[in-house]
Amino acid sequence: MFINVKTVTADQLPKGESGLVLHINHKDEVVGGTATEDAYTRCNPAKMERHYKEAIAHNYDYFRKPQDEGGKGMADFNAGLLTKYPEGWLRFSFQPMSYALAKHLLKRIKTLLAEKAEAEGCTHKRREPVLKRIA
């Protein structure tokens, strides 16, 4: 299913408005998202530019490291997709709605994003082979 959404830059996001902010790649696909009570503050243009530069440098660990260690503490699939598609830090779609609804929708979207990341090989999880003992 495809829907047409208007993409905006971080400085075009509304100040003080709650809703769902989706990160959009160059193929107009969703590659990340956040639920927020203030879209502009959450996706501050300077912060998004900084993240874009880290993603261009393929600094996956910066996004995965816990926040108390200077990282972003992102889930594996989020870090993988936004490192593979760094333009997602600069292109957004904003859907105004209550914060509670945005959180609910984002939870469902993240399930789909995790599947997308796995399909595209964007995850960095180290999987141990499952050894089956045949009796």
Instruction: Give residue 127's pLDDT.
Output: 42
130 located within any domain: no
125 located within any domain: no
- List of residues 6+ apart from 18 with CB closer than 8 A: 36, 37, 38, 39, 96, 97, 98, 99, 102
108 located within any domain: yes
Q: Which two tokens mark 49?
A: 């530019």
Domain membership of residue 56 as a residue range = 10-120
4 located within any domain: no
Has residue 130 got a pLDDT over 90? Answer: no
5-18 tens-digit pLDDT: 789 999 999 999 99
Average pLDDT over the chain, rounded to an integer: 86
Query: Nearest Cα to 123, choosing from 43, 52, 56, 63?
Result: 63
Q: Is the pTM of this model over 0.75?
A: yes
Q: What is the pLDDT averaged over residues 68-85?
A: 86
Q: How many domains does the chain have?
A: 1
27 located within any domain: yes
Has residue 133 got a pLDDT over 90? Answer: no
Sheet with 30-36, strands from edge to edge, namely 30-36, 19-24, 92-96
Query: What's the Rg (C-alpha) of the chain?
Result: 16
15 located within any domain: yes
Say if residues 97 and 19 touch (Cβ distance below 8 Å).
Answer: yes
75 located within any domain: yes
